[in-house]
Structure 1
Amino acid sequence: MSEEHKKQLEQQLWNIANTLRGKMNADEFRDYILGFIFYKYLAEKMEIYADSILKPDGIKFTDIDENTEEGQAYIQAIREEALEKLGYFLKPSELFSAIAKRGNHNTEEKSLSQAAEPTETYNTKHNFILEDLQKILNNVQNSTMGTESEEDFDNLFEDMDLNSTKLGKTPEARNGIIAKVLAHLDKIDFELEQTELDVLGDAYEYLIGKFASGAGKKAGEFYTPQEVSMVLAKLVTAGKKKLKSAYDPTCGSGSLLLRVAKEVEEVNNFYGQELNRTTYNLARMNMILHDVHYRKFDIKQEDTLEHPQHLEHRFEAIVANPPFSAKWSANQLFMSDDRFSQYGKLAPKSKADFAFVQHMIYQLDENGTMAIVLPHGVLFRGSAEGHIREYLIKEKNYLDAVIGLPANIFYGTGIPTCILVFKKCRENPDDILFIDASEHYEKVKTQNVLRQEDIDKIIETYIERKTEDKYSYVANLSEIEENDYNLNIPRYVDTFEEEEPVDIDTVMAEIKNLETQRAELDMEIAGYFQELGLSF
């Protein structure tokens, strides 16, 4: 599929979302449209895999008659292999195309709720498919019970409330809009057999980004702008082709982790933690939809600082865009927590920024790299934060680079941000690189956006570790100490533009000329007044 076709797919999906959401906000309809796309993906993946198994028998998955003994034997055999390979199972009658067609054709056949036997093929009565659709979504989850993939599919569709009045005041109205969505999606070929291209995954990311752009402050909960994700991913993968593990302690929709995967040939395992339940579901869907095998990702739902879920692991690459200056408990019991105890102080209750840094450093492998986006305040705020900052540099020497980003590049906030890069085994232990990329961007509508050239310049400067006038500076540790471990970028990267010197003689001559012109004008006006018999 060409780039043009990919863009067409993205636009088709967004048009469906945009035209069918009615009076709902984009972020409210998001859960439905992304959920239905995910269901279609699962169904098509299931059908392709089942057809490959059935090929020697010369039949297709959709040819199986579920009401015969032979059909049931086929289904049972395919179920076992699908649960091992895909992690879930759908029957032919549960495929997306089947329910989409039933939702848009009048039939007199029984619905699932009216079926005498669970093995009967279920169809809609008068196009009503809500009950059948809900059962199918439940069956996806139920098919995984007792298997390795159970946790990855647990309550995955719980945010798709098919009985919500937001979809329509009556069941018929809700059924109508859902049937329309399914019909429109059914017409789109995801071309999943073109395995060399992650077209649908890219389109899914595109949709997440589009929903984020319309969600304002809420967007920060689940999405990091693609350009920022690219910078973070390139920083933690610099010089590497394969990664044992990648981790995001505030993973949102999982976009950052997936971006890391695009920068290397292989990532063995993905780990993430997310507080928001809806976003956690989105992250799991995103992983599966990007063809990450269920055994290769471990996404947990919990508060990372208060209840970390992966403490036994150490990660080769860590990326994060945590909520800026979030509140946390800062409970004194954390002083005995290995993540924080060695620092002697905790991050303040009102600003958890350094708590996330400490947590990530604890989980960083000796040969690993971590990159985190934070508000500029972490560079210079004092008290406990100043103490932690000094400890990280003076005692541990983990800070490798400070990168200033343009303001207004995140959805819902215009505050300036920075990226801090940490390594436990630094190749350049005697200095810290400062990059000021704050003026390198393009303004797109109300948002500032990093261009590809801006991203390339940041990464090139980081890798080459060079000083460039008004852009970057390699500061030795003694300079940092002289500045009391204040990392405010203008202290190291001088972006001051000198004004041209003023030629006093020229200015005085201009003033004298203006005074002459004014005197002449006054005389002219006085003449007019005299002609009118008025005093001036």
Structure 2
Amino acid sequence: MTLRKSDLYGSLWKSCDELRGGMDASQYKDYILTLLFVKYVSDKAKTDRNSLIEVPVGGSFDDMVALKGDKEIGDKLNKIIARLAEANDLQRVIDQADFNDEEKLGRGKEMQDRLSKLVAIFADLDFRGSRAEGDDLLGDAYEYLMRHFATESGKSKGQFYTPAEVSRILAKVVGIGPDTKQDHTVYDPTCGSGSLLLKVADEAPRGITIYGQEKDNATWALSKMNMILHGNADAEIEKGDTITSPEFLDGSQLRTFDFAVANPPFSVKSWSSGLENDYGRFEFGRPPEKNGDYAFLLHILKSLKSTGKAAVILPHGVLFRGNAEATIRKELVRRGYIKGIIGLPSNLFYGTGIPACIVILDKENAQARSGVFMIDASKGFMKDGPKNRLRSQDIHKIVDVFNKQTEIARYSSMVPFAEIDDPKNDYNLNIPRYIDSSAPEDIQDLHAHLEGGIPERDIDALAPYWDAFPSLRSTLFKPNRPGYVDLAIDITRVQQTILDSEEFKSFAEAVRHKVDNWFMDHRLALKNLSSDTKPNALIATLGDDLLERFKAAPLLDAYDVYEQLMTYWHSTMHDDIFLLMNDGWVNAAKPRKAIEDKDRKLAEVPDLVIGSGKSATKYKMDLVPPELIVAHYFGDEQTRADALKATAEETSRAIEEYIEEHGVEDGQLSEAMDDGKVIKSLAISRLKEAKRERSDPDEVKGLERLLELYAEESWAKKAVKDAQSALDLATLRKCGELNEADIQQLVLEDKWHASIAAGVGSEVNALTLALVVRIQELGERYAETVDELDEQLRSLEIKVAAHLVDMGLE
């Protein structure tokens, strides 16, 4: 049985993290990624004789596995890696981590156990079938680990990784796509671990030639490994400071490329230290000595061919800072080199929390350019632990809007050069100057507060709702006076009135039909999943089609609908498809034993437990959860089990109420209490004693009733347990009886289709709730006039004065 990807990665990270000890994640990543590299190339060599990496005798992962428990495991691991490095000219690339470092890995038995367990973790992975297409096991595992390492490394050491979501935006807006040729070139002068370059390469289905340079030695080695791991072993990744010692030269000039992408370090103060040759990069002005942002931008511009294009991540300061930077910015704009600017949310990056922007450069037809296209995407994100993160909908919207140059109020605008050149702006490119992304102000109406009524302009602002539900406005509101209306119904009935509206029901039904028709059009492709399926291409097709179908729909934001699909894809559907690609419908649906690994503390929460105690068997049902089988085949049994559960809960409540009534001091149950609580064993012994002593009949009667209730509760709980056990056993047996058609029905319709439809339905509910909340807010705001409030105040003052007189105070 194949484990779901998310379970596999979760186990991998938790296992590695537990073995880290006191080591910083920025150091620990070198050990983990080196082992991942050796494991991958060893597996590939077994199935691909033409593999670019030679795995020599004594230099494979199998040799590492043979060392588990060896007292000299650290030193011997180093020697295995050295053999592999020497055979492939990868010295100082894959041998950066010292596996015999006692300060980091412990001494003697501690190192022996830690490294043995670490090797065992990777032994469970199998990359022999990895296709390295960005949607394979290796690519996703690597991405998962890199994100966690960057998060754990903190501000000072997270620069080696550009978040995948931001990388995808740069790759898609820079102009690379299906028409890109294999001999086209892409360059990253500050490539870090190479993640940004690889995301760009993913956008070129025919391939693209990769060049990169990285200053930090360990990160450079990481990038070299990364390229090999992802099938780009021929990528040229050089080491050194790009500004002072650029490695890509044609004679005495910088080499030029078709495309460039970069996430350079922000505002480097020592960028010019050791600079002897500027290679003509600073023809528009020299960047300030204490800030290197424009040094990188100008280097990239100079490194582009005459039709070259680039996308660069920079701090917002480059858009508005003065002096030398203002002079450079003015020249870049006047020459038409800046095609666009995209403002991103704050706290996206691991090296800094400040907001950044993407500057898109384009030399092609620069002189014919008449403006700069700007996007303010600062408000589109989700919280993800300590960082913010772009959602799928945010990425898609940014890319769509930029590539189509679509102007959207409070989001995007083509800003003409005439406006940028205006003296009031003076080539300041700060996005808020040109795009006001703030929400419209909610204005309080003084006349409405004085005379009553809801301002009609506030109702007009809800026009999209009235366009979708034409008669609903007249149902909810009635005229007051010119420019003002009143609620025509009680404020508490607003929500139900909207839900009962035939127009709303028709709207909700139309949304359901759109989702149903979309799913049916893709059902065959989902049914025919195979090992050749490309998940990334599949979800791109599904997502783009769903987005297109809802773009013309009233009220709903098509990107919100798209996000519902993508959220479900990332949480569930991607895992399901991975299982189906590897195991097929029947095998993927089979229950598997839940992992119970006490040493690594990675035990899974089982979906079904058959039996009890130590003899219990725990199962995981990854593809077809037990609740799906129960809902489809055992509805009556579940209803009975629910009824028994309700009875048991009612009995428990009856006991609580009885104790609350009679457990007071000197009550019928007072002698059965300890520390303010009734104890069942005390109640039993006290009843025997009371009967023997012929105590108060009421006490005997009370104790007998309490024990009767306890007996009823015990019976009810046993009935629930027996019913649930029978239902679980029936579910497990039914799972073994399902054929391929049964499984497809459960997964395609009851799971995927139903879940996505429910997600989109939640968007309908959310916009309905937003309308209800706004109407209730307006109704309550202007429900009472100032005169009415004054009258209430005078009435209350009179009452207070009367009470004071009654109390003898004047």
TM-score where L is the length of structure 1: 0.81
Choose from 32, 49, 52 the match for 1:86.
52
Matching of residue 181 in structure 1 with residue 122 in structure 2: no
Q: 1:402·1:420 contact (CA, 8 Å) conserved in 2? A: yes
* Residue aligning to 1:37: 36
Quick one: distance in 2 between partners of 1:181 and 1:331?
42
Quick one: distance in 1 between partners of 2:280 and 2:333?
17
Matching of residue 478 in structure 1 with residue 477 in structure 2: no
Matching of residue 134 in structure 1 with residue 78 in structure 2: yes
Query: Match of 1:474, SS?
Result: strand
Matching of residue 308 in structure 1 with residue 252 in structure 2: no
Matching of residues 182-331 of structure 1 within 5 Å: 182-192=119-129, 194=131, 198-238=136-176, 240-243=179-182, 244-293=184-233, 296-312=234-250, 313-330=255-272
- Deviation string, structure 1 residues 37-78 (Cα, Å, up to 9, x no partner): 1111222233334xx4xxxxxxxxxxxxxxxxxxxxxxxxxx
Letter in 2 for 1:340: R
Q: Against the structure 1 CA distance between its residues 127 and 44, is the aligned structure 2 distance closer, same or farther, given a 3 Å change threshold?
A: farther
Quick one: distance in 2 between partners of 1:228 and 1:436?
15
* Residue aligning to 1:521: 796
Query: Match of 1:237, SS?
Result: coil
Letter in 1 for 2:295: A
What's the offset of the Cα at 1:211? Answer: 1.1
- Deviation string, structure 1 residues 437-458 (Cα, Å, up to 9, x no partner): 1112223344322122211111
* Residue aligning to 1:112: none
Q: Against the structure 1 CA distance between its residues 268 and 445, is the aligned structure 2 distance closer, same or farther, given a 3 Å change threshold?
A: closer
Quick one: distance in 1 between partners of 2:55 and 2:341?
47
Quick one: distance in 1 between partners of 2:282 and 2:437?
38
Identical-pair percentage? 37
Query: Match of 2:378, SS?
Result: coil
Q: 2:344·2:355 contact (CA, 8 Å) conserved in 1? A: yes
Letter in 1 for 2:380: H
Q: 2:71·2:109 contact (CA, 8 Å) conserved in 1? A: no
Matching of residue 457 in structure 1 with residue 397 in structure 2: yes
- Deviation string, structure 1 residues 328-369 (Cα, Å, up to 9, x no partner): 3446966x62343411x2111221111100000111122221
What's the offset of the Cα at 1:256? Answer: 0.2
Q: 1:43·1:90 contact (CA, 8 Å) conserved in 2? A: no
Quick one: distance in 2 between partners of 1:214 and 1:481?
45
Q: Against the structure 1 CA distance between its residues 309 and 442, is the aligned structure 2 distance closer, same or farther, given a 3 Å change threshold?
A: same
Quick one: distance in 2 between partners of 1:242 and 1:376?
33
Quick one: distance in 2 between partners of 1:220 and 1:167?
20
Q: 2:243·2:275 contact (CA, 8 Å) conserved in 1? A: no
Q: Against the structure 1 CA distance between its residues 501 and 221, is the aligned structure 2 distance closer, same or farther, given a 3 Å change threshold?
A: closer
Letter in 2 for 1:456: H
Quick one: distance in 1 between partners of 2:24 and 2:808?
71
Matching of residue 355 in structure 1 with residue 275 in structure 2: no
Q: Against the structure 1 CA distance between its residues 497 and 168, is the aligned structure 2 distance closer, same or farther, given a 3 Å change threshold?
A: closer
Find the structure with the greater CA-based Rg: 2
Query: Match of 2:56, SS?
Result: coil
Quick one: distance in 1 between partners of 2:45 and 2:440?
65
Quick one: distance in 2 between partners of 1:261 and 1:194?
15
- Deviation string, structure 1 residues 453-486 (Cα, Å, up to 9, x no partner): 2111111111211222111111222222112111
Letter in 2 for 1:245: T
Quick one: distance in 2 between partners of 1:471 and 1:193?
41
* Residue aligning to 1:16: 15
What's the offset of the Cα at 1:247? Answer: 0.9
* Residue aligning to 1:403: 342
* Residue aligning to 1:164: 101
Quick one: distance in 2 between partners of 1:47 and 1:9?
22
Q: Against the structure 1 CA distance between its residues 237 and 14, is the aligned structure 2 distance closer, same or farther, given a 3 Å change threshold?
A: farther
Q: 1:369·1:423 contact (CA, 8 Å) conserved in 2? A: yes
What's the offset of the Cα at 1:376? Answer: 0.8
Quick one: distance in 2 between partners of 1:257 and 1:7?
25
Q: 1:167·1:173 contact (CA, 8 Å) conserved in 2? A: no
- Deviation string, structure 1 residues 147-198 (Cα, Å, up to 9, x no partner): xxx3xx1312343122323444313311220111112211222234556663
Q: Against the structure 1 CA distance between its residues 330 and 181, is the aligned structure 2 distance closer, same or farther, given a 3 Å change threshold?
A: closer
- Deviation string, structure 1 residues 245-279 (Cα, Å, up to 9, x no partner): 11111111100000001111133421111111111
Q: Against the structure 1 CA distance between its residues 332 and 192, is the aligned structure 2 distance closer, same or farther, given a 3 Å change threshold?
A: closer
Quick one: distance in 2 between partners of 1:331 and 1:184?
44
**Higher-RCO chain (CA-CA 8 Å, sequence separation at least 6):** 1
Choose from 387, 392, 409 the match for 1:469.
409
Instruction: Point out where structure 1 has 5 or more consecutive residues left out of the alignment.
Output: 53-81, 105-125, 145-149
Letter in 1 for 2:238: K
Q: Against the structure 1 CA distance between its residues 514 and 270, is the aligned structure 2 distance closer, same or farther, given a 3 Å change threshold?
A: same
Q: Against the structure 1 CA distance between its residues 164 and 361, is the aligned structure 2 distance closer, same or farther, given a 3 Å change threshold?
A: same
Structure with the higher helix share, 1 or 2: 2
Q: 1:330·1:347 contact (CA, 8 Å) conserved in 2? A: no
Quick one: distance in 2 between partners of 1:374 and 1:300?
22
Q: 1:213·1:219 contact (CA, 8 Å) conserved in 2? A: no
Q: Against the structure 1 CA distance between its residues 156 and 227, is the aligned structure 2 distance closer, same or farther, given a 3 Å change threshold?
A: same
Query: Match of 2:102, SS?
Result: coil
Instruction: Point out where structure 2 has 5 or more consecutive residues left out of the alignment.
Output: 452-784
What's the offset of the Cα at 1:103? Answer: 1.7
Query: Match of 1:242, SS?
Result: coil
Quick one: distance in 2 between partners of 1:440 and 1:203?
27
Q: Against the structure 1 CA distance between its residues 451 and 288, is the aligned structure 2 distance closer, same or farther, given a 3 Å change threshold?
A: same
Quick one: distance in 2 between partners of 1:377 and 1:191?
47
What's the offset of the Cα at 1:87? Answer: 4.4
Q: 2:31·2:97 contact (CA, 8 Å) conserved in 1? A: yes
Q: 2:64·2:80 contact (CA, 8 Å) conserved in 1? A: no
Letter in 2 for 1:349: E
Q: 2:382·2:390 contact (CA, 8 Å) conserved in 1? A: yes
Choose from 430, 436, 441 the match for 1:499.
441
* Residue aligning to 2:806: 531
Q: Against the structure 1 CA distance between its residues 398 and 193, is the aligned structure 2 distance closer, same or farther, given a 3 Å change threshold?
A: closer
Letter in 2 for 1:210: H
Quick one: distance in 2 between partners of 1:453 and 1:219?
29
Quick one: distance in 2 between partners of 1:214 and 1:264?
32
Query: Match of 2:305, SS?
Result: strand
* Residue aligning to 2:323: 383
Letter in 2 for 1:486: N
Letter in 1 for 2:113: G
Q: Against the structure 1 CA distance between its residues 35 and 404, is the aligned structure 2 distance closer, same or farther, given a 3 Å change threshold?
A: same
What's the offset of the Cα at 1:501? Answer: 4.2
Quick one: distance in 2 between partners of 1:25 and 1:358?
35
What's the offset of the Cα at 1:430? Answer: 1.8
Choose from 72, 92, 103 the match for 1:155.
92
Residue-pair matches, total: 467
RMSD between superposed Cα atoms in Å: 2.5
What's the offset of the Cα at 1:488? Answer: 1.0
Query: Match of 2:267, SS?
Result: coil
